[in-house]
Structure formats: C-alpha cells, structure tokens
Amino acid sequence: MIDKASYLIEPWAIRESGVDLYDLGRSESLFALSNGHIGLRGNLDEGDPHGLPGSYLNSVHELRPLPYAEAGYGYPESGQTVINVTDGKIIRLLVDDEPFDIRYGELLSHQRMIDFREGVLTRDVEWVSPAGQTIRVHSERLVSFSQRSIAAFYYEVEAIGDPARVVIQSELVANEQLPTWRGDPRAAAALESPLISERHRADGTKVETVHITRHSEIRVAAAMDHHFEGPDSLGISSESEPDAGRVTATVVLLPGQKLRMVKWLAYGWSEQRSLPALRDQAVAALVAARQTGWGGLVREQKEYLDAFWARADVEVDGDPEVQQAVRFALFHVLQSAARAERRAIPAKGLTGPGYDGHAFWDSETYVLPVLTYTAPAAAGDALRWRHATLPLARERAELLDLAGAAFPWRTIHGEECSGYWPAGTAAFHVNADIADAVARYVNVTEDERFEREVGLEILVETARLWRSLGHHDLDGRFRIDGVTGPDEYSAIADNNVYTNLMAQRNLIAAADAARRHPDRAAELGVDAEVTASWRDAAEDMFIPYDPHLGVHPQSEGFTEHQVWDFEHTTAEQYPLLLHFPYFDLYRKQVVKQADLVLAMQRCGDAFTMDEKIRNFAYYEALTVRDSSLSACCQAVMAAECGHLSLAHDYLREAALMDLRDIEHNTGDGLHMASLAGSWIALVEGFGGLRDGGEVIAFSPRLPEGLTRLAFGLCVRGRHLRVEVSDATATYTVSEGPAMTLLHHGQTVRVQPGEPVSLDVPPAPVLERPRQPAGREPLRFLRPPGEGGPSNPGAGSSAGGAASVGGGHGGHSGVGGHPGVGGHSGVGGHTGGRGGSGSTAGAVPSATGSTVDG
C-alpha cells in the first residue's frame, strides 16, 4: 500500500505520486476542476475513500438560520451555504465481485496529474485485488471551458495476468453523505439532504435527474450519457431512483483486453424556470457534447488554454517552486471565473465549501486585478454580477439609513450573510473595493459601453454611500467614523486610512465617469451639484498621520494603543483569534492582515517614498499574518521599498499557500486570493506594475534568488510583454498599436514588434525590518541545486527531494464568536475569516442576480 503522496516540482503540471489516505481533502482541492460554472473536487473516480465529496454549481445554495445570542436591528436572519449538488463523478469498478478500493488489496502504483496547458486530470493506477487479480486503470476528467454546462470522463480498465469479470457502474448521486456539522443543529438540519427529487429517468446509456433545493427552491437538472468499447460479451443496463441513477457495463476481459468508457455529464439550474425547460436544457447540452466527442472536447480545452497562456503566462527563472506555483495559481484563478458569466467568484472558487462558498472583497481586490490583465471578459462578467445585485445593495443601505448601495461583506446571492456586524457590515470598504475594480477594468480595457451600462451606476451608488456615511467636521475635514478596515483585529475605528483613501478614489472616479456620460448620469439623478459634493468630500478626506512616530496610523489613534505583548505570545497561541477575545485584540496594536500596507499598495500616490519605507517597517513589527491575504501585499511593498529578499520570502508564502497547505485548511478548498496574490507579488512586486492613469508604469527589480521574470498583460487594446533580468528590462508590444509607458519614472515609447531594453537601477540598501517573534515569513527547505532560499528559517512544512511537501489538510472547523454558530470547516466568527485551520461561517430573496445557469 502506497500511503504517502509526493508532489513533484514541474513547470507546467501538478503531479501526485502515491496517495495519502490522511490527506485526501487537500489533494481533492489541489486536483479540483472547474470552469466557473461547474466545479468538481478531485475525488477519486470510485468515490471511496474521500476527504470531502464535492460537486458544485456556481450560486446554487441552500438557506440556513443564523443564530444570535442577542439579536439586533439590521442583523441578517438567514445565511446562504453552497451545497453539494448531484454528483456525476462516481465511476465504481468491480473486479470478480471485488470492489476496486485502494484501501484493500495491493496498490502497486498510483499517479494523478494535471497539465495546466491541457486542463485534463489524468490518473493511472495498478492494483491487485484481495483475490489476486491485477488490473490497470487509466482515467481522464475535464470540466469544459468551451461548453460550460459539460464535464466529461474517459475511463479504461485492462486485465493483467488472468481473465477478469469487470463491472463498471457509472452513477449520478444526490444528497451524498457529508461530514457532520459540529455547530448549530438547526443549521445542520437545514443542510442535511437539501435536494428533493422531482424527476428521474433511465433509458439505455442515459440517465436524467431533476431536484429542487428544500428551502432556497433552486431547481437542478443533471444528465449523463455514455459510450462503451470492449469485447463482444459486453452488456449494458441502466436504472434510476429518486436520488440516484446508474449505467452498468459488464464484460469478461482476457489478459491485455480493455474496457473503455466515455461519460458525458451535463448540468443546468434555475430559480425560475420550469422542470421541463431545465430538463431539456441539460439534455440538449448532453447531445451537443456527445456530438463533439471526447477527443473534440479535449481539443477544445487545449485551444482555450493555448489562447489563455499566450496572453497570461508568467515565466520565472531561479525558483522552480514559484514557477510551478504561479502557473498553478493562474490555472485555478481562470477556473474560478472563466465561464462564471455574471455570477460570483467565491473565496474558494468552486474547489470546496470553505467560507460557505461566499464571495468577499477578495474577488475585487485580489482576483479581478489578475483577470483584468489576463482574461478581461471574465473580470467584466464578475462586475456585471455585482451590478445585478445593486437592488439588494440599495435595500441594505436603506435599512442602515444610508444613501446609495451597501454591498454585502459576504454573500452568494447578493444579500448580506455576515452574522457578526463589526467585521461584516462595518467593513464598508468592500464598496470602494468594488468601485476600484470597476475603475481599473474600464481603464485597462477602455470598454466605454461597460462603463456606461454597468460601471457608472456602481460608481454612482457607492459614491452616494460614502457621502452619506461620512461627514465634514468643524475643521472642514471629511471623516468616515466607526468602520472596520481590512485588518480584522481592529474594528469600529475612526478614519481607517485604507477605507478613506479608497473612498476618496471612489468619489473621484464616480464624478469623472458622470462627466464622461452626462446623459446617463442625469438618468441616475446625478447633476453638477452632486458631483461637486463628491469632489469636495474627496478633496477634504481626512488621512490621519502621526507626526511623533513619522508614520500613518492604520486608523485614527491606532498608534496610541498599547502594543500587543508579542514577547509573551507563544507559537501555539497563533492565530490569535482562536486564543484571545476580540475585545482584547481590537484595542491593541496588532494586525491580522495587511491594512495600511495594502493602502500603500493600492493608493501609492498618496504616500511619499520615505513614508512608505517608514510605514512598512512600522507595520512589519505588528503584522502577525493570521490571514492568507497578507503575504502578497507585503511582498509588493517590500519590493517597492527595496527589501527584495524579504519580498521573495513573502512571494513564496503566497504562492505556496495551498501547495504547502500552510494554513492547514486547503482541504476546504483553495485560497483564490492568495493564488492570485502570487501573480500580484511577481507582477506588481518584482515587475513594479502600477497602472492608475493613462500611462502604465513599471519599476522592475529582481531579488537575488530570481534571475529572470517575464509576463504578459492585456492593456488598452494591446498585448504587452515584459521581461526582466538582473540588469535590464525589455518591453515588447506583440499585438496592437504603439504605447507609452514609464520605466522607473522614465517615459518610453514602444513600437509594435520593436522591443525596447532599458537598464534596471540597483535597489537601495536598507536594513531588513523585523516581524513579531515567530511570525517571520515562512521559509522552506529547497532541493539541492534548485536555487532560491535554502534555509528553513521559521517555516513549518519542508519539502522532500524534488517534491513539494506539506501538512495534512482536512475539513476542520473552529469555534468563534459567541452566539454565532459554525460547522466543520466553517467556523464561528461569521464576519471575518480565521487563519490556521479556520474558515468562517455565513437570505432569502425573490430577487437577485443569480436566477439560473
């Protein structure tokens, strides 16, 4: 029995050799396939054993109660949780009546692999049954980018040594048994068997099922069809029941003979459409997929990815782990959004149920910058989803006695699902984050139609929110009091610098967009007086500064708080949220995730270089990174300030968050923001990308461990290729007209097909800033001769020879805030999100953005 998996370091693939029964949840997340519409966890074909079964349709969710010890006005009354829909991945195999199960018999070899250029999960197994029969199994799986409602499977069994009676059972299964919720029993009851059967039918090689969710009343159709090839003795039958459907193939294989099966799986869902219409939709998708065939789907998958990598690939020389990790990241970020088509991008994508399947501000702040430059159509669709939820955001603002729209802190459907308001409702910066993503998208794509039809209304409604949320004080300063910034260890603070700066940008962007589209602005009730009030608020925005320390306080008065006692905080007491009350955290100088540092990254023109250096050093000493959102931001600002080695360490932590399972919760799903953060750390950090206006700017510098960095950007109708080495940077416009850019402040004109190479100035020599004791960025053992960091430092997971190591994953939950329940993998503090081993907990409406798919 092979009981330990290793993951080889390869530039274009993730490959698992062996299998670890105690780490199945993690591997299921790493090998998940999705297209943004359908998500299939990387469960073994035969279904058992598993860490956590998972088949997801974007935005298909169930409602559950949000319990409170003490309810209050404006508290959400129900939450939304992603559900495991009808599972069509299962292909059971029996060999001479022995079920194929890797826990029994003898597993001679086991390997799985995804080549990021192919988009297909392949598996090769050699197994000896308890009765001594040897077989080989080769399987392939894809979730189609070209046909968004389709997943497909290729399955091949070969008898070795002796004849074997082989039975394949291809299944559709609803209401699979999942790990038991450990939180509120009412929530557990709401999510137990959430699908009610409405129709099931089997005919030949086809099976159709239709279910409806018990409380949210979302209808889900699933259908499968098959093609078999094998000896003449092959027999095929099918059957169905309310929660299952099965197609069975039986044959006797002589040594060397093979039984082959292609399985097509189609999904559809809707909140509004009738059962016949939804059934017909799934069946039609199935017919189209079968006509395309397995080979055709594989070709279409590669063609789609060829086009993506041609514009989006990032090449890294000198650190093979980071090279693999950034392509792994780009592949999964694309999977999270490619065919989402006006639906949310959840924090875990469609790779697992972590965070209840909710979308947060992560999408706009971390994922959309990557998509805007590499897959802009997907970024535009994600913003159209936000636009579709504007009616619900307006209702939320009205409930809070505010103007405009208040977008939710966490949601699936568009309603607020955070039961802990200090870290949820009070985190109003999500509105500016969405507005910033709109402004970035318009700036990069120059999509005037999008701005007029979608972006302007988002900018207007969020600007109205800030104008009503803030006020001018007696000194004429525009203040935004009583809010929570990105750092969840501070709450209900006055004048959070990140929030105020992002609100300032929001107000200006809204006024500028209204000026470009005066007729449309007038339809939205915006006139010159309104835009003038927005510009006044932006101009008078209060940005706190501490002249005694020479730094910006994270929020007004923050630097006057007592500094957390880091010296007497043990390693076992991190993450702090699991060992200390929020009351204590909120009134101390301790930072969970980059806040002021993120403000400098996103609003760099608001700070001088000297301020950035001082601020960065000050907050390094306070930031404990109990969040996966920090490392990439710290990497970017470390690089800008000249701490290139430190930036490399943070890059590796962001890039390897899931490959190394740093927070020990990859089993709940991948961290999309941290994956996107690896691109951000490389492109914005070492590439020095800044793009806040008409001229795109770069200030590239590489750390000692990297010898070359190259990346592509889709920007303003051009494809720009940037290549950086130790001494030079080369800019090439491979598609589109000439463009002007800045290189370390120098204006450069780049003509199409005529590369321009420029010298890279050396970085300043600065003392490396210190972090809290024991919270230094993780460093990992590296295989000899691989380059990059080689000392283990403070890291915990060390890789073996030429492999990526990692800790055990699993579906683990955390307790949390009093009165707010949780479940396994979805912990108690429903407003924010935990660190190691922790994720967070979570409304019915007849309206919203996600009505069918």
Average pLDDT over residues 595-611: 97
Q: For 94-104, b where at least 16 C-beta lie within 10 A, e where not — what string?
A: bbbebbbbbee
Return d(Cα 364, Cα 344) in angstroms, integer. 10
Q: Which residues of 451-467 are buried (b: 16+ CB within 10 A; e: fewer)?
A: bbebbbbbbbbbbbbbb
Tokens 């780490």 belong to 23
Mean pLDDT of 313-342: 97
Strand-pairing partners, residue 219, are 212, 270
Cβ(22)–Cβ(808) below 8 Å:
yes
Q: Which pLDDT score, from 0 to 100, does residue 587 have? A: 95
Using CA atoms, how far residue 788 sits from 510, 633, 764, in Å, is 45, 20, 21
Which residues face 338 on adjacent strands? none
How far apart CA 741 and CA 497 sit, in angstroms, is 29
Query: Residue 211, SS3?
Result: strand
Tokens representing 126 are 């050699």
Mean pLDDT of 303-308: 98
Is residue 68 within 8 A of residue 74, CB to CB? The reply is no
CA distance linking residue 675 with residue 369, whole number of Å: 12
pLDDT tens string 478-519: 999 999 999 999 999 999 999 999 999 999 999 999 999 999
Q: What is the mean pLDDT of residues 170-186?
A: 76
Q: Which two tokens stand for residue 265?
A: 């799986």
Asked if 331 and 679 count as a contact pair (C-beta separation under 8 A), the reply is no
pLDDT, position 795: 34
pLDDT for 692: 83
- Answer whether 119's CB lies under 8 Å from 305's CB: yes
The answer to whether the annotation marks 20 as part of a ligand binding site is no
Cβ atoms within 10 A of the Cβ of 794, count?
Answer: 15
- Residue 214 has a CB neighbour count (10 Å cut-off) of 17
Task: Tell me which of 840 and 629 has the higher pLDDT.
Answer: 629
CB atoms within 10 A of CB 146: 16
- The mean pLDDT of 161-180, rounded to a whole number, is 92
Q: Which residues of 802-813 are buried (b: 16+ CB within 10 A; e: fewer)?
A: bbbbbbebbbbb
Q: What is the pLDDT of residues 381-424, one digit of tens each?
A: 999 999 999 999 999 999 999 999 999 999 999 999 998 889 89
pLDDT confidence tier of residue 182, bands split at 50, 70 and 90: low
Q: What angle do CA 690, 691, 693 make, to 5 degrees?
A: 135
pTM here is 0.92
The response to whether 593 counts as a known ligand-binding position is: yes
pLDDT, tens digit, for every residue of 275-302? 999 999 999 999 999 999 999 999 999 9
Report the percentage of the chain scoring pLDDT > 70: 90
Closest residue by Cα to residue 164 from 253, 240, 81, 70: 253
Question: Is 396 buried (19+), middle (13-18) or exposed (0-12) by CB count in 10 A?
Answer: buried
Is residue 852's pLDDT more than 90?
A: no
C-beta of residue 737 within 8 angstroms of C-beta of residue 754: no
Catalytic residues: 488
Give residue limits of the domains in the chain. 38-293, 375-624
> Burial letters for 183-203: b for 16+ Cβ neighbours within 10 Å, e otherwise?
bbeebeebbeebbbbbbbebe
Least confident of 84-88, 233-237, 696-700, 834-838: 834-838
HEC sequence for 623-650: ECCCCCCCHHHHHHHHHHHCCHHHHHHH
541 pLDDT more than 80: yes
Q: Which residues, in sequence order, are CB contacts of 642 under 8 Å at separation 6+? A: 613, 763, 764, 765, 766
pLDDT, average across residues 719-729 = 96
| Of the options 2.70.98.40, 3.40.50.170, 3.40.630.30, 3.20.20.70, the CATH number for the domain spanning 38-293 | 2.70.98.40
Q: What is the C-alpha to C-alpha distance for residues 204 and 636, in angstroms, rounded to an integer?
A: 57
Alpha-carbon distance of 337 to 326, in angstroms, equals 17
Task: Name 529's Cβ contacts closer than 8 Å, sequence gap at least 6.
Answer: none
pLDDT of res. 431: 98
DSSP 551: B
Question: Fold identical between 38-293 and 375-624?
Answer: no
Judge residue 749's burial from the number of C-beta atoms within 10 Å of its C-beta, 0-12 exposed, 13-18 middle, 19 or more buried: exposed
Query: What pLDDT digit, counting tens, does each position of 804-851 carry?
Result: 443 333 333 322 332 233 333 333 333 445 443 333 333 233 334 445
Instruction: Using alpha carbons only, give the angle 484, 666, 636 rounded to the nearest 5 degrees.
Output: 55
Average pLDDT over residues 265-283: 96
Task: Pick 801 or 586 by higher pLDDT.
Answer: 586
| Listed range (261-270, 507-516, 614-623, 790-799) with the worst mean pLDDT | 790-799
Please state the rounded mean pLDDT for residues 120-147: 97
Task: Assess contact for 760 and 726: CB atoms under 8 A.
Answer: yes
Q: Residue 649, Cβ neighbours under 10 Å: how many? A: 26
Nearest to residue 524, comparing CAs of 390, 629, 331, 649?
390
| Exposure on the CB side of residue 370, measured as CA atoms within 13 A | 33
Q: Are strands 478-479 and 471-472 parallel, antiparallel or unpaired?
A: antiparallel
Q: Is the peptide bond before 575 cis (omega within 30 degrees of 0)?
A: yes
What was the pLDDT predicted at 826? Answer: 32
Q: Alpha-carbon distance 772 to 397, whole Å?
A: 39
Secondary structure of residue 57 in the 3-state scheme: strand
Q: What are phi and psi of 554, to 5 degrees?
A: -55, -45
381 annotated to a ligand binding site: no
At 597, is the pLDDT very low, low, confident or very high (cuts 50, 70, 90)? very high
Chain segment 644-654, per-residue pLDDT in tens:
999 999 999 99
Task: Give the span between the Cα atoms of 837 and 840, in whole angstroms.
Answer: 10
How much is the mean pLDDT over the chain? 90
Question: What is the C-alpha to C-alpha distance for residues 281 and 829, in angstroms, rounded to an integer?
Answer: 40
At residue 780, the pLDDT reads 63
The pLDDT of residue 409 is 96
Using N-to-C axis directions, what is the helix angle for 672-680 and 320-337, rounded to 10°? Answer: 130
**Separation between Cα atoms, residue 323 and residue 332, nearest integer Å:** 15
204: left (phi over 0), alpha (psi -120 to 50) or beta: left
pLDDT classification of 796: cutoffs 50, 70, 90: very low
Contact at 8 Å (CB) between 419 and 75?
A: yes
Q: Which of 267, 405, 365, 441 is nearest to 598 (CA)?
A: 365
Q: What is the mean pLDDT of residues 780-793?
A: 42
Write the DSSP symbol of residue 683: I
The domain 375-624 having CATH identifier 3.40.50.2000: the answer here is no
Listed in sequence order, the DSSP H helices in 338-389 are 362, 368-374, 376-388
Q: Quick check: 42 and 29 in contact, CB under 8 A?
A: yes
Give helix then strand counts, H and E, for the chain. Answer: 20, 33
What was the pLDDT predicted at 76? 87
Provide the pairing of β-strand 696-698 with 739-743.
parallel
Model pLDDT for residues 357-384, shown as the tens digit of each residue: 999 999 999 999 999 999 999 999 999 9
> What number is the average pLDDT over the span 250-262?
97
Q: What percent of the chain has pLDDT over 90?
A: 85
Residue 104 has pLDDT above 50, yes or no: yes
DSSP secondary structure, 566-610, as one string: -TT--GGG-SGGGTS-HHHHHTEE-BSS-SHHHHHHHTGGGS-HH
How far apart are the C-alpha atoms of 432 and 405, rounded to whole Å?
A: 11
The pLDDT tens digits for 190-235 are 578 899 999 999 999 999 999 999 999 999 999 999 999 999 999 9
pLDDT of residue 853: 67
Residue 849's φ and ψ, nearest 5 degrees, are: -95, -25
Q: Has 97 been labeled as part of a binding site?
A: no
> Can you give the pLDDT at residue 74?
87
What is the sign of the dihedral through the CA atoms of 245, 251, 256 and 261?
Answer: negative
Task: Give the bridge partners for 235, in sequence order.
Answer: 250
